[in-house]
Structure 1
Amino acid sequence: MMEYKVNDYKEAKDWLKNTDAILITASNGLSIAEGYHIFADNGSFRRYFGKFRQKYGADCLIRGVFTPMTAADHEEYMQTVHQYLIDDYHGSEVMKNLLSIVRNKPYFIVTSNGDAHFQMNGFDRDRIFEVEGNFEGLTEGSEEWNGQRQRFYAFLQEYSGQNALLFELGIGSRNQLIKAPTMGMAAEYPSWKFITMNMPGEINVPDALADRTVALTGDIGENLRNLLNE
């Protein structure tokens, strides 16, 4: 098994500085770093959704979306989701630091997070592909979603042969929706490098990418601060 570098912030910062373009991929771990855990029965969930927890047994935000309810209660539940994730959201240090790191490079974002937090923190709306839609009404197969997908493919076509970087944030080690295909793609592009941020047990790097990978383990917010301050 080939070795990859772990917590080498200097190397990661050099790669980010010198890359031609950055493909950002993000999932639930990035949301957790912001303080939003849609799979947790935590204090925030109970404050916003306690009524639905008591009445229907919903034990996290995402399962509540699919819990059978009356039509009126489901509508209220989805309005509460919007309030929690979007209306009452006012940006985060995590997203501010991420934007500071990538803003001077051509970048594109592929995410399964449906909270629209990238847009709300100043990331370019035309550089985002929300693969599962979002809670603002974007749905798979819609004209807007298809436009996001087409712009993603155009980004890959433009930078596949260049000195680009896959920057992965909080995606589970066995994720097949985003992680597996983008890692496989980066492995096929010999000029691409790979930076992955996750908890130590969720780091997954294929041998084909190991010699051009830096894994930054632990809290994503702290790792982003380290990249800015190293």
Structure 2
Amino acid sequence: MDRNTMYKAALDRIEGADAVVIGAGAGLSTSAGFTYSGARFEKYFADMERAYGFHDMYSGGFYNYDSSEKLWGFWCRYIYINRYMDAPKPVYQDIFERVKNKNYFVLTTNVDHCFQKAGFDKERLFYTQGDYGLFQCSQPCHKETYDNEEIITKMVLSEGYEIKDARLVKPKGAVVSMEIPPELVPVCPKCGRPMSMNLRSDCTFVQDAGWYAAAERYERFLRENRNTKTAFVELGVGYNTPGIIKYPFWQMVENNPKASYICINKGEAYAPREIADRSVCIDGDIYDYTDRNED
């Protein structure tokens, strides 16, 4: 079966499903253009590459900056372009158009908020690993998170950038700063310790009330649809954290004879033999299989 035929089979399973569960990993945002090296990195971090010697955004997140002002000089740009700017390609919007009239829920390990920006109902989203748009106490001394859009915007503006049409723009001929003023360094409103991003990287990750509410909505959706014709659609999920999406999807499909498994992922698209007859696995770039590229 060629890939176009397989894609048609996948769409038929989604269209005929009573419920659709989307599981999304980093490969989906990569397909949408959220790359962390190359031209996109050079556009926003060429000065830091020259100064610090790292060659991609991911490495920049682990660099040992010698001040909080320089640390947040890096992170404010990183957060703004990966959380508050739209992805270069409309992959998420195309997926939304495909499922917006279906009974759906989204489970994702991505932290860039692309689903909600594309129109997905926030009550049908569970971001298990956090959100670039939230701060928390680095200790943490309490279990709350804080929206950071306003302070992140102030930070990037303080470096000399402009914001036009929700995009970060370097004024022509301008030399931007690589650090923010001391007064903009975020600190915990309770204990005064440094703030950090709400990302699951170690045991300090804060699961706030919103996290638990989303987890309960997801579990309720699975309970309500456990015996229905459910399509489990896995997009761009690798093996960094397979226990969150991939393995549970396989197990739920195996336990429900009405369910099907769909996987689109570049380089890692397959299903165990127990569910192979109810699976459609496509090895490729997700963008190539969105509505704008079906022909």
Q: Do these two structures clear the TM 0.5 threshold for a shared fold by scoring above it? A: yes
Alpha-carbon distance in structure 2 between the residues aligned to 1:5 and 1:157: 35
Following TM superposition, where does structure 1 have runs of at least 4 consecutive aligned residues deviating by more than 6 angstroms? none
Long gaps (5+) in structure 1: none
SS at match of 1:63: helix
Q: 2:78 aligns with which of 73, 78, 81?
A: 81
C-alpha displacement of 1:141: 0.9
Higher relative contact order by CA 8 Å / sep ≥ 6: 1 or 2?
A: 1
Percentage of pairs with the same residue: 28
Q: 2:49 aligns with which of 48, 53, 77?
A: 53
Q: Is the 8 A contact 1:111 1:129 kept in 2?
A: yes
* Residue type at the aligned position of 2:98: I
2:123 aligns with 126
C-alpha displacement of 1:32: 1.3
Q: 2:110 aligns with which of 85, 90, 113?
A: 113
Q: 1:183 aligns with which of 246, 250, 267?
A: 250
Q: After superposition, what is the alpha-carbon deviation per residue over 1:83-135, rounded to whole angstroms, capped at 9, x for unaligned?
A: 21233326742112101111111111111111111111101111111111011
1:66 aligns with 62
Long gaps (5+) in structure 2: 135-144, 146-197, 199-205
1:36 aligns with 34
Q: Is the 8 A contact 2:20 2:104 kept in 1?
A: yes
* Residue type at the aligned position of 2:38: N
* Residue type at the aligned position of 2:250: M
Alpha-carbon distance in structure 2 between the residues aligned to 1:152 and 1:27: 17
Q: Normalising to structure 2: TM-score of the pair?
A: 0.69
Q: In structure 2, do the counterparts of structure 1 residues 196 and 5 end up closer, same or farther at CA, with 3 Å as the change threshold?
A: farther
Look at both structures and tell me which one has the larger radius of gyration over its CA atoms: 2
Q: Is the 8 A contact 2:232 2:260 kept in 1?
A: yes
Alpha-carbon distance in structure 2 between the residues aligned to 1:112 and 1:204: 20
* Residue type at the aligned position of 2:129: E
Alpha-carbon distance in structure 2 between the residues aligned to 1:57 and 1:142: 36
Q: CA RMSD in A?
A: 2.3
Q: Normalising to structure 1: TM-score of the pair?
A: 0.87
